Structure 1
């Protein structure tokens, strides 16, 4: 569905989720307003980077004095199910920014098939509380995957894990 642009002045739905079993999950962002929704599929690392970028932007806004006090967590939640005709895109790149006039976070996504100079396929603005809730939800979705070995950092699968620190197979450093 490349070519169709989706722009939302106010996102009333903004959720991250993982589909599937840990180790074989697919990640997506559900965004839009009311029943006018878009599914943005992305890699785990892209979703994690979006959450971290939102957290960093909120902190920069605090440091700059543009946000005072604690930002409440107010998720923009999906009411009911997804409409069967919800457009879906595979995200190639994303960007976020701050709309000072509206005091909202702006989120932009480009489809993987789009060129560098094309406008984003998705653009939407979220309140600061909704953006904060999204960042927290992303962190929870990412953390719900397979655990990591505390010694070497490798993923521990359902079959277990052989840690190089425990079995003598560390690379030789001479």
Structure 2
């Protein structure tokens, strides 16, 4: 079956968000533009790692190419809106790839569908491809992995990338607070803390 590339270059909106209550949340990347809304599911650790690697990519682009680093968005301009509904999962993400396009000064993010177990080697160990800074985008396309898998591709300005990082970190941190004794997530209905020999706190 022919794979699909859902390209938003650039998107009107690109955010990380969740569906469900803390402790039972499903994480999504969602892109909107041109009358389309595409949502892809992924793990919490992938969202956290994506934000971390995007930060590193911006810093590296600043060092190597003199890209000016955007400021952290003001609280007044934070995107705190929920995901656009209905949230229909297009696919589940296996691999995330990053690149910096020097010619356009933009960050390219690709979320690639998780393949079958026999062809999906290493995805659990490597939920995010190493960030790269590409002077030649054609070279990147020649080495594109997993060509038979669907993918979501977005192209962001450094400012939009910083806004995505900020929201992604807030989304990850908005889950269940950790127990001050054992560090495990606290449940609203109670917490079996190993530091209290399994008694509820």
Tell me which interval the TM-score lies in, with the shorter structure as reference length: 0.7 to 0.9
**Map of 1:54 onto structure 2:** 54
Shift of 1:164: 3.1
**Map of 1:107 onto structure 2:** 109
Which ranges of structure 2 fall in alignment gaps of 5 or more residues? 121-144
Shift of 1:11: 2.1
In 2, Cα distance between equivalents of 1:27 and 1:69 = 27
Query: Once the two structures are superposed, what CA deviation does each residue of 1:100-148 show, in whole Å capped at 9, x if it has no partner?
Result: 1111110011111375642362222111111111111011111111011
**Map of 2:160 onto structure 1:** 130
Which ranges of structure 1 fall in alignment gaps of 5 or more residues? 170-174
In the superposition, relative to structure 1, how do residues 81 and 28 fare at CA in structure 2: closer, same or farther (>3 Å)?
closer
Q: CA RMSD in A?
A: 3.1
**Which deviates the most, 159-168 or 143-152?**
159-168
In the superposition, relative to structure 1, how do residues 2 and 152 fare at CA in structure 2: closer, same or farther (>3 Å)?
farther
Query: Once the two structures are superposed, what CA deviation does each residue of 1:82-111 show, in whole Å capped at 9, x if it has no partner?
Result: 5x6967111111111111111111001111
How many residues are treated as equivalent by the alignment?
A: 167
In 1, Cα distance between equivalents of 2:168 and 2:186 = 21
TM-score (structure 1 length as normaliser): 0.79
**Map of 1:90 onto structure 2:** 92
Q: Do residues 4 (structure 1) and 34 (structure 2) align?
A: no
TM-score (structure 2 length as normaliser): 0.70
**Map of 1:29 onto structure 2:** 29
In 2, Cα distance between equivalents of 1:86 and 1:21 = 18
Query: Once the two structures are superposed, what CA deviation does each residue of 1:34-76 show, in whole Å capped at 9, x if it has no partner?
Result: 3223111111111111111112212222333522354463778
The answer as to whether partners of 1:2 and 1:111 remain within 8 angstroms in 2 is no
